[in-house]
Amino acid sequence: MITLSGIIGSGKSSLTEILSDELGTKAFYEPVKDNPVLPLFYKGNEIAAKKRAAGDEEATNPYAYLLQTFFLNRRFAMIKQAMQEDNNILDRSIYEDEIFMRMNTEMGNATEVEYDIYKSLLANMMEELPFASHKKSPDLMITIKVSYDTMLKRIEKRGREYELVENDPSLVDYYHRLLKQYDIWRDEYDASPMLVIDGDKYDFVTNMEDRVEVLEMIENKLVELGNLTTEKAAELKEKHKILLDEE
């Protein structure tokens, strides 16, 4: 089981699809389009920021806790399902979920009481996870690290109105804070081996040479961990040479 992590617009879903095709494994994608809370959350951020600017220092985002429990429930269900099987890839996992609730609490979008309740719920879920499956953790966590500028370019290309900084200037601070939280999270993560991909350096979506280099980094790591045979890795490298020759 491979899990991916990374900030908004880092390319998690794209790399998940690429890896799924490459390795012949099942992909699990976190639903976004059917999330009724996400647009409300971004609107709530804007409302809370305006209230605080007007002097209401205790103003919170009324949808922050709701959004995080919504995501937590989805991520718990998805990883439980994935852990019942072998050979699968998740474009997002429960392991980075707390980043968002912690940050929203620090920003004043959620209260300390809400954060404490959230942490208790998350801890209970993590305790139950090994009993709900035959795996205790992912075999590999792949995290895609990108800069603020790269993130913005990809967000603009994706075109979700509620994610665009020109529609909500408060997102500038939110995104910078989120980048810092991911830096902290990468240093603290210890649930499984981790491989960091430089999303500024490698355009694995549109550049075939970059894609091949990223795939071989991942496959070499899987060989090192004993999750991919050297024979299969060599077979995939031959396939990559053909792809590059066709470019």
Q: Determine whether the annotation assigns residue 9 to a binding site.
A: yes
Q: Determine whether the annotation assigns residue 14 to a binding site.
A: yes
Q: Determine whether the annotation assigns residue 22 to a binding site.
A: no
Q: Determine whether the annotation assigns residue 97 to a binding site.
A: yes
Quote the CA–CA distance of 226 and 230 in Å, as a whole number.
9
Annotated active-site residue 91? The verdict is yes
SS3 115: helix
CB atoms within 10 A of CB 33: 6
Is residue 143 within a helix (H) or strand (E), and if so which, with residue range?
Answer: strand 140-145
Q: Determine whether the annotation assigns residue 12 to a binding site.
A: yes
C-alpha count within 13 angstroms, C-beta hemisphere, residue 70? 15
Exposure pattern of 170-207 as b/e (b: 16+ CB <10 Å)? bbeebbeebbebbeebbeeeeebbbbebebeebebeee
Q: Determine whether the annotation assigns residue 158 to a binding site.
A: yes
Q: Determine whether the annotation assigns residue 144 to a binding site.
A: no
Pairing of the two strands 88-90 and 2-6:
parallel
Quote the CA–CA distance of 28 and 12 in Å, as a whole number.
11
Q: Determine whether the annotation assigns residue 5 to a binding site.
A: no
**Cα dihedral 97, 124, 119, 194 in deg (nearest 10):** -40
Q: Determine whether the annotation assigns residue 26 to a binding site.
A: no
Q: Determine whether the annotation assigns residue 13 to a binding site.
A: yes
Q: Determine whether the annotation assigns residue 10 to a binding site.
A: yes
The active-site residue, picked from 91, 139, 168, 183, is 91
Binding site residues, as ranges?
6-14, 30, 42, 68, 92, 97, 154-158, 163
Return binding residues for ATP: 6-14, 154-158
Which residues contribute to the annotated binding site for substrate? Answer: 30, 42, 68, 92, 97, 163
Please give the positions annotated as active site: 91
